[in-house]
Structure formats: C-alpha cells, structure tokens
Structure 1
Amino acid sequence: MTTHFGRTELPPAQEAALRRAIRFEWYTLAFLAVAITLVFLVMGSSQAMKAAWIEDLLSLAPPIAFLLAVRIVNKRPTEKYPYGFHRSVGVAHLVAGVALFAMGAFLIVDSLTGLVSGEQPPIGTIVLFGQPIWLGWLMMAVMALTIPLPIYFGRVKMKLARELHDKVLYADADMNKADWMTAAGSIVGVAGIGIGLWWADAAAALFIAGSILWDGMKNLRAAITDLMDTRATTFDDDEPHPVAQKVDAYLRGLPWTSEVGSRVRDQGHVFHVEAFIVPQPDESPTLRQLMAARDRCIDIDWKVQDIVLVPIDELPEEVGGSRDVRQSERNVSARRGPGEHLGITIAD
C-alpha cells in the first residue's frame, strides 16, 4: 500500500522512513512508561530526581504529537482546508515547545529556591530482600538504566527526521538527548548528597531545568516562525532549505526566462512554492511550456507539493527584485499578451 502525506505520495525511501519512525515512537512511549514508573518509585525527596521524573513526563509530548500529526496530515485537502492538514505538524511542535518552556521555567525557580534556602533533602534506606539499602544506590541504578536507550533512539530519530523533513521528530530526538543528560545529572546530584555535598542535588536539578528551558525556547521559536511563514529551512532550522535554489536554478536555465525568484512556505512536511518569472523580452510562455516547467519542478524534490508559476514584469523585492520598485508606464499586458499573469497551481 502506498503511503501519503495528504495528497503527496511518498517515495519508497521516505515511505520506509515514516513507518520506521512510527515504530520507534511507539518504542519510545513504552520505554518512557517503564522509566517514569521506576523513577517515581525511587525518587524520594531529591530535587534532581523530581526534575528528572518531570522531564520524563514531558518527553511523552513529542512522540504523542508526532503520532497524532501523522494521522492528521494523511487527510486529503478539502474545500475548507484547501492547503491540506500539514500545519498540524506545526501546531504539535508549538504545543510541545510551550510545555517544555513552561515546565523548564517552573523547575528553575523551584531549584533556585531550594539552593538559596539551603534545603538538605534526606535520602533514607529501604529494606530489600531482608537487607537495608541506601535509597541513593537504587536512584543511581535506575537512572543509569535509562541512559542507553535514549542515546540510541535519539540517533535513529535524527536520521529519520532528516529523511522526512519532520521538525516534531527532530524535537523528539533532541528531547532524547536531554533525557540521557538528565539521567547523568541526576546521578551526580544523588552521589553528591551521599558524600555530604547537600547543594549538589539542587545544582543538578538546576542543570536539568536549564536543559528543559533551552529545549523549550528553541522549539517554541522554531514553531512560531514556521507558523508565521518564515522562509523554509532545513529540518533542524540550521539554514535555508536548498529546494528554493534548485527550483530557481532550473527555471533560470529555461530559454524563455530572464529573471526568477521563488518564495517557499514550509507547510509541515511539504512545501508550497511561488515562483515568479520575468520572461525574456517579447516572449510570452505558452501553457505547454508552463506545464512542462511545473512538472520538472515537482520532480526536483518530493516535498514540492504545490507550486505556482507566476509570469510577471518585475520580481517582488522579497525574492530578489529591485528595491526601487516603480510602476511601469508601459502597457505590459498589451506587449506580452493574455499569458502575462498566468498562475498555475500544482497538485498531485
């Protein structure tokens, strides 16, 4: 069965990546269910362990958001939602970012309060198999067990996020990195209490809270800018996505084009492209030429779901046009004929 993102049919590589990503998100939820339970049972009054437990709870948000978004984006566009449902990915990304930011800010205040007030959390003993055991050993053992899988999950998801251009999956991979760093910080905090450094626990909790807050800020900023239609970027928001340059390069190579500039909107997994074309003097592109150019642009990258080709007399400033835009005095419509402002919307 062929897999789609809405009306965009996925190539075989991306189809396999999507199915693998779904499996790994379910693996992540199963792992987190066990980890959250174990940490809750042993966390005692340690601030670092409490912060680690809350961080594990928050780690549920990205995989749940991804699984929900994948189901929603598979819906085909409707009259009410003509662009499809790809924006659900951005909404899920925003919700995850807000949750991380809010909880990180709360934990920083809580940790700082404990550090300033000089709270010394007691770690008692429990009887296990008839023997008294310091609870700190169990805390550190549980946290050590939660380190390997997040490292593995994070590496796999980062690769899949690149394949699928999925920023929620990338946020989840980033969260997996925070998970194992949180576990390591908790071990340091509990060990510090064991050797008499009472402040180590609050300091470790503060480190964990700072990591959560940073993840929240980064994902919140990326989600907001995507929903505001900033220019399309790579899956990690590191640089502009190269698809715009590829589309422009192809269109500039056509014999009937003079200047080309595109703006690309990130819809979630796929892009909406508006390509503005200034034809050669005394050239008026035919419908056949425009349709051929459309089809070739779609072949450039599977993420090009919709593309509009707009023949125009001068490029808009935001896509490289002149900063001193003046109204032309010539009658462009009469010179170039009825194809002057032809727009073609591409849909699979």
Structure 2
Amino acid sequence: MTTRFGRTELPEQQEKALRKAIRFEWYTLVFLAVAITMVYLVMGNSQAMKAAWIEDLLSLAPPIAFLVAVRIVNRPPSGRYPYGFHRAVGVAHLVAAVALMAMGAFLIIDSLTGLIGGEHPPIGTVVLFGQPIWLGWLMVIVMALTIPLPIYFGRVKMRLAKELHDKVLYADADMNKADWQTAVGSIVGVLGIGIGWWWTDAVAALLIAGSILWDGVRNMRAAITDLMDAAATTFDDDRVHPLTGEIDELLRSLPWAQEVGSRVRDQGHVLHVESFVVPRRGRTPKLADLIAARDACIDLDWKVQDIVIVPIDELPEEVGGRRARQSERNE
C-alpha cells in the first residue's frame, strides 16, 4: 500500500483563480453593504422590498464563509488533523445553506400571512428637492440599480467555482442569480401596488422566499452528503465526479492489475481517493509499481490530493466487487 496526502499548494492556474475569487468576494461584500443600506432606506411597508432586503442580508453569508474557509484550508495537516483542513469548505457550505433555508422558511410564513390576511401595504410619498415623489419610484430605481452587478458577479464566480471545484463559491454564484431575480420580483410587486393590485406585493415576496428556501434546501442537501462522505460529485452536484472513472481506467490499464474499484470522497477543493486493486495471478506489485501508479493518478488532475492504493484479494462490494463477480457468473 502507498499513500500521498497533506498537500495544500495549488497549481499556478488554480492559484490565480483563487486570488481572483477572493477579490470578487470582497467586491461582493462592498456591493452588498451599499445595496443593503439603499434598500433599507426606501423599503417602506412593502413585503417584496422587505424580502429583498433580507435576501441581501443573507447574501453576505456565502462570501464571508468562502473567505473564512480559504484562510483555514491553507493550514498544513497536523497530528490532530492528518487529512488537512480542506473540509472547512464543506462546513462553510453547510453554514451558508442553513442560513438560506431558515430565512426562506420564515419569509414564506410571513408572506403567506400577509396574503391570506389581505394586508394592503401603503406606499406614501417623499419630498425631494421640494417636489413630492411617490416612494414606489425610488424603490424601483434602487432595485434596478442592484441588478447588473449580481449578474456579472454570478457569471464570473460560476466559472471560478468550476475551475477551483469550490461548492461555496458555486452557492454564492447561485445566490447572485437569486439577487437579481429578487430585484426584478420586487419591482413587479411595487409597480403592482402602484396600479392597485395590492396582492402582487405579497405574491412577489412569496416567490422570492420560495427561491431562497429552494436554494437553502438544495445546498444543504449537497453539503450534508459531502460531509457524510458520499461519492464525490462535480462542483454543481450534477453528477458523480468523472475523475472516479478516470482513475479506475488508468489503474486497470496497468499490466499487473486485474480488477480495480475506487472510493472517492470530496474533501473541499480536493478529493480523497482509496483505490482497491486485485493483482493478476503471479503479478504481485512491487513498491516501485505502487509508487508509479500513485504518481500517475496524481498527474491526472490537481484535485487528486490524497490517494491510497491498496492491493487486495477481492474488491469490496461498494466499489463493484459483488456486481463484477455476479456479471462473470451470468456470462
């Protein structure tokens, strides 16, 4: 058996991507600070504006979680933490997801209460430069100003999340998408009040709350499964990570390997791999063979951070051992 683990440095390309991601998270925090203040000043009694303001407050969680996690994962492994600190990314992902889910549930209850109770939110007027102005126009202007940057931030972060295999960054990019959609919904709700459709405000708030809750549930499910050592998936949890199959294919091509099966779990930015190999009869691998196999797997992708190659007499069931034997009997 041979091992390699504890590496914390990133390749040059990913290091640049990480520095860019950190910059964009700080840009996001500055933007949110301004947006939160502006929305608070004009939100009045509108439920949609209230939901948008709370959603902006929640948007602070993913970038803060990302910036904290990045500082923690840079620590080298220790005796107490022999696998390193990469799981800090998963913990940050869970914290952000729970905040989203809790607030989404609260806003749904609050919005439904207003809708069922038939609350008619009043939007008054303010005096600017000596002229009375309907406060709704200020709401619309403020929300319109908060649309362009989240669209841009979200696209950049989505690309960086894929490059870094960072699920917190992906959750933040998803949150940016929710930000501008929330702004659009708030505008619709406020304009609905302006033309006498009082219910549009509560409906817009309800849709915003539903979006927040869905983001929270989806991200919490992904964070929990990662922390429970589910099979590693892509950064967007769309499918099982293709590196699992690539590692098995590489090891299976070795002249001394007969059967191969791997368990791959997500450690945060990187993956921890346990590959079980049944040697061919009479071809027991030497230490040099195992080291060469290990290095070949590591060269496949920078995310192969921890890898253990285990020569074994038969594959464990969870990596296909029983299925493979059953298939052979059927043939």
**Which TM-score band applies after superposition, normalised by the shorter structure?**
over 0.9
Alignment of 1:250 onto 2:263: no
1:230-282: per-residue Cα shift (whole Å, max 9, x none)?
A: 00000000001111111111111110000000010100010110000000011
1:325 Cα deviation from its structure 2 partner? 8.5
- The answer to whether the 8 A contact 2:164-2:269 is kept is yes
Q: Which amino acid aligns with 1:65?
A: A
Partner in structure 2 of residue 49 of structure 1: 49
Q: Distance in 2 between matches of 1:320 and 1:165?
A: 26
Q: Which amino acid aligns with 1:315?
A: L
1:7 Cα deviation from its structure 2 partner? 2.5
Question: Larger RCO: Structure 1 or Structure 2 (Cα < 8 Å, ≥ 6 residues apart)?
Answer: 2
Name the SS of the counterpart of 1:8 in structure 2: coil
Partner in structure 2 of residue 330 of structure 1: none
RMSD: 1.4
Partner in structure 1 of residue 277 of structure 2: 277
Partner in structure 1 of residue 90 of structure 2: 90
1:274-318: per-residue Cα shift (whole Å, max 9, x none)?
A: 000000011210001101111111111101111101000100111
Alignment of 1:286 onto 2:286: yes
1:9 Cα deviation from its structure 2 partner? 2.2
Name the SS of the counterpart of 2:322 in structure 1: coil
- The answer to whether the 8 A contact 2:126-2:135 is kept is yes
Name the SS of the counterpart of 1:77 in structure 2: coil
- The answer to whether the 8 A contact 1:278-1:315 is kept is yes
Q: Which amino acid aligns with 1:246?
A: E
1:11 Cα deviation from its structure 2 partner? 1.2
Q: Which amino acid aligns with 2:227?
A: L
Partner in structure 2 of residue 316 of structure 1: 316
Partner in structure 1 of residue 39 of structure 2: 39
- The answer to whether the 8 A contact 1:6-1:74 is kept is no
Partner in structure 2 of residue 74 of structure 1: 74
- The answer to whether the 8 A contact 1:97-1:220 is kept is yes
- The answer to whether the 8 A contact 1:6-1:73 is kept is no
1:101 Cα deviation from its structure 2 partner? 0.4
Name the SS of the counterpart of 2:75 in structure 1: coil
Q: Distance in 1 between matches of 2:300 and 2:323?
A: 30
Name the SS of the counterpart of 1:28 in structure 2: helix
Instruction: Tell me the TM-score normalised to structure 2 length.
Output: 0.96
Partner in structure 2 of residue 238 of structure 1: 238
Name the SS of the counterpart of 1:322 in structure 2: helix
Q: Distance in 1 between matches of 2:44 and 2:53?
A: 11
Partner in structure 2 of residue 343 of structure 1: none
- The answer to whether the 8 A contact 1:6-1:85 is kept is no
Q: Distance in 1 between matches of 2:205 and 2:183?
A: 11
Runs (5+) with no aligned partner, structure 1:
327-348
Aligned residues: 322
Q: Distance in 2 between matches of 1:222 and 1:212?
A: 16
Partner in structure 1 of residue 203 of structure 2: 203
Q: Distance in 2 between matches of 1:137 and 1:245?
A: 56
Name the SS of the counterpart of 1:238 in structure 2: coil
Runs (5+) with no aligned partner, structure 2:
327-331
Instruction: Tell me the TM-score normalised to structure 1 length.
Output: 0.91
1:8 Cα deviation from its structure 2 partner? 2.9
Partner in structure 2 of residue 219 of structure 1: 219
Q: Which amino acid aligns with 1:184?
A: V
Partner in structure 2 of residue 156 of structure 1: 156
Q: Distance in 2 between matches of 1:295 and 1:200?
A: 60
Q: Distance in 2 between matches of 1:8 and 1:246?
A: 23
Q: Which amino acid aligns with 2:178?
A: A
Q: Distance in 1 between matches of 2:121 and 2:306?
A: 58
- Shift of the 6–33 alpha-carbon distance from structure 1 to 2, 3 Å rule, reads farther
Q: How high is the sequence identity, in percent, across the aligned residues? A: 79
Moved over 6 A (4+): none
Q: Which amino acid aligns with 2:181?
A: M
Alignment of 1:116 onto 2:108: no
Q: Distance in 1 between matches of 2:139 and 2:209?
A: 19
Partner in structure 1 of residue 329 of structure 2: none
